[in-house]
Amino acid sequence: MKVLVLGGDGFCGWPTSLHLSQCGHEVLIVDNFARREADVELGAESLTPIETLDVRRAVWQELTGREIGFERLDVAADYEALAELLASYRPDTVVHFAEQRAAPYSMKSAWHKRYTVNNNINATHNLLAALVDTGVDSHVVHLGTMGVYGYTAAGVTIPEGYLRVRMANDDGEDVEQEILYPTNPGSVYHMTKSQDQLLFAFYNRNDEVRVTDLHQGIVWGTQTPETERDERLINRFDYDGDYGTVLNRFLMEAAIGHPLTVHGTGGQTRAFIHIRDSVRCIQLAVENPPEHGQRVRIFNQMTETHRLIDLAQLVSRLTGAEIDFVENPRVEAAENDLRVHNRQFLELGLNPTTLEEGLLREIADIAARYAHRCDRDKIPCRSLWRRAAEPATAT
Amino acid sequence: MKVLVLGGDGFCGWPTSLHLSQCGHEVLIVDNFARREADVELGAESLTPIETLDVRRAVWQELTGREIGFERLDVAADYEALAELLASYRPDTVVHFAEQRAAPYSMKSAWHKRYTVNNNINATHNLLAALVDTGVDSHVVHLGTMGVYGYTAAGVTIPEGYLRVRMANDDGEDVEQEILYPTNPGSVYHMTKSQDQLLFAFYNRNDEVRVTDLHQGIVWGTQTPETERDERLINRFDYDGDYGTVLNRFLMEAAIGHPLTVHGTGGQTRAFIHIRDSVRCIQLAVENPPEHGQRVRIFNQMTETHRLIDLAQLVSRLTGAEIDFVENPRVEAAENDLRVHNRQFLELGLNPTTLEEGLLREIADIAARYAHRCDRDKIPCRSLWRRAAEPATAT
């Protein structure tokens, strides 16, 4: 298949591009390097030394003979260029990663909130409007988040996107309806993914655009079989307070002798997936497109759930690191229950990589290998979900 | 109260600004004249000859001694100016009309879709982010639409924003939950209002921004007691295929001897409200703000429902005009049932102006008075919700 990967230079986008190329698909990456620019803005860097996209692509071609194309453009801003590219390349599938993807980053300031909303909504909408405008019938595979569900249901295993509910009609009889699972996003970033769902539902219903929306859990790990083939293909490893995800952060902290920073009580339960499974899930979605006329297909892209404190204790046992409880910057319940269905990917053949010590050691090894590149000042999360309270006046 | 009216030069904004001023509130209008620019773009004009905003404000001050302030700025684009205005003016209430408000306009082309999404989402989000950023504790009164509900519930009277539903938990027991009413928007315009709901819910929960969201029906009528006081205060009357609303269009068509253009079978049921009631509802919302910590308050701002064919027949009886059935450009069911709760406004004291011949005659008189200004070419709706089918190949 011809696959256009929007945001193909990022943490999920790069290993996905390699994996799809490895599977024999023709891959064309679109990126505006916003993620690398955020590194510059934040004075942070991937712990792993990532190469430029040109070097990455050249190394892949040298190793495998497979070419990965590249167009630099901003999907949220350069509509005409995007529409022209779709019309000329006519991809079978567009994998859409071209969104600002960090919750803490989205809450740093009014500018960051506005950037996230403007970028994410316009990126998704430009893609959908351009597909309709050009008449190109690509299947859109979008990376969403488990965070749109918001962990609200009491004792209900979260279904894959849609929920059957009952309500009383005017005659007091029960009516059953299937609805998009009600969202309860916890950050501006998560909110944009809830808004994306409305965009997909509308363009699917009005114009029959075929969409697979992947509600992904927190990704752990950094390497895939493809990125491991050469150090110059290595994937990003973010450990900073904005972009670092929790389990990778713990392993990084352990590697440099920093206490594991647990926000709040650590009683929050989250859904997880290893980056290897993430790229396989995307491959499965790409290779199994929905039918024309089918509603938006939603998959939960996660393999297991864990309480954060349990993960911290696991890493602590493995490495001897101490645990440090710090204030939770988020507005959220201290503890939550979370159970999630992921049948659809299992039925398509996903064989989950679950959390086990071997893989954790692999990541700890990477963290240790590049520990000299770590800037300890970047570890704390400095985003506050709400304005800090005024300091008390001295009396 | 000090009230900032974003979009205060438009069809709802102008009579609202006058009405709030008449009620003794201090009114400051913000507008970027986007609606007047759309007239230029479309080569269309208000049937009624509207004055510039400067003249309108001067006449009002001359008549009443009341001053209405004005700042020209684009809420969706000029974030810094908006934040400065909020910080200096510190309004008790911000009435937010600053959105592109026509469904057909939002579907004309990729450009119009993108303009509507970009403008509406960024306008709402800039306002919310600026309130949090500046720490100004204004009550936001937002004009939403009944169209977010999407008329999907079978035999269920549409509640005011929230719906109690039941679902089975993992133990097979019933769990009850109150959710935002599931949306099913029928155009890009309506979709942006669904996305607005998510913005309000998030900023309300995260930052305790107080919001009243008004789900308004189709407005009919053009004049209010305030706009009638001087011809130079007259309100817009849109009859064109993009911005004209259905009942006003029928009356206009009758006035110029054009058949009443009914889309499809006319079996669509819609919710309606007279512009006089619309401005009173906004006054009631402004003067009865929600408590701090209260969730987003949603009112259905409508007074009655009608089938379009019944309205056409009523206007036909009144004026002798013929009815012409034309193809429906929208993707929607030919017929729908619609029952709507509007208890909250009735409890706050709204005394509904319902459809009766006297008021219809008043509008027909305005249509007749300015019929010479009508451009008949602008009457048909030329937006297609979906791309036209390819013409069949001759064989």
The domains of chain B are located at 2-378
State which residue of chain A sits closest to B106, comparing Cα positions: A129
Q: Catalytic amino acids of B?
A: 145, 189, 193
Q: pLDDT confidence of B388, banded at 50, 70, 90? A: low
The pLDDT value given to residue B394: 40
The pLDDT value given to residue B153: 65
The strand pair at A162-168 and A174-180 is best described as: antiparallel
CA distance B188 to chain A (A): 8
Residue from the list B130, B194, B202 with its beta carbon closest to the beta carbon of A110 = B130
CA distance B120 to chain A (A): 11
Best mutation target among B179, B193, B295, B390 (most A Cβ atoms within 10 Å) is B179
ipTM greater than 0.90: yes
Within 13 Å, how many C-alpha atoms sit on residue B277's CB side?
A: 27
**Beta carbons within 10 angstroms of residue B1's beta carbon:** 16
pLDDT tens per residue across span B98-151: 999 999 999 999 999 999 999 999 999 999 999 999 999 999 999 999 999 876
The pLDDT value given to residue B152: 63
Handedness of CA A18, A20, A23, A25 (dihedral sign): negative
The pLDDT value given to residue A388: 62
For chain A, first and last CA: distance in Å? 71
Question: 3.40.50.880, 3.30.870.10, 3.40.50.720, 1.10.150.120: which CATH number matches A2-376?
Answer: 3.40.50.720
The pLDDT value given to residue B392: 41
Alpha helices, H only, chain B: 13-22, 34-42, 53-64, 79-89, 103-106, 110-134, 188-207, 246-255, 275-287, 308-319, 343-347, 357-369
Would you mind telling me the total number of residues written for chain B in this entry? Answer: 395
Q: Across residues B159-178, what is the average pLDDT?
A: 93
Nearest to B254 by CA among B368, B138, B395, B94: B368
Q: Which of the pair, B97 or B364, is modelled with greater confidence?
A: B97
CATH number attached to the domain at B2-378: 3.40.50.720
pTM of the model: 0.96
CA distance B307 to chain A (A): 20
Best mutation target among B117, B181, B197, B208 (most A Cβ atoms within 10 Å) is B117
Backbone dihedral region for residue A272 (phi beyond 0: left; psi -120 to 50: alpha; all else: beta): beta
State which residue of chain B sits closest to A172, comparing Cα positions: B156
Cβ of A79 within 8 Å of Cβ of B153? The answer is no
Q: Catalytic amino acids of A?
A: 145, 189, 193
The pLDDT value given to residue A380: 86
Show the low-confidence residues of chain A (pLDDT under 70): 151-153, 388-395
Q: pLDDT confidence of B393, banded at 50, 70, 90? A: very low
User: CA angle, corner B327, sides to B325 and B333, nearest 5?
Assistant: 100
Residue whose entry in the numeric block shows the structure tokens 């509600």: A215
The pLDDT value given to residue A383: 86
Residue from the list A117, A153, A198 with its beta carbon closest to the beta carbon of B125 = A117
Which residues does A189 contact at the CB level (< 8 Å), separation at least 6? A100, A101, A102, A103, A105, A106, A107, A116, A120, A147
Which residues does B345 contact at the CB level (< 8 Å), separation at least 6? B281, B284, B299, B300, B301
Residue whose entry in the numeric block shows the structure tokens 């083939």: A229
Residue from the list B126, B169, B386 with its beta carbon closest to the beta carbon of A206 = B386
Cβ of B339 within 8 Å of Cβ of A170? The answer is yes
CA distance B276 to chain A (A): 30
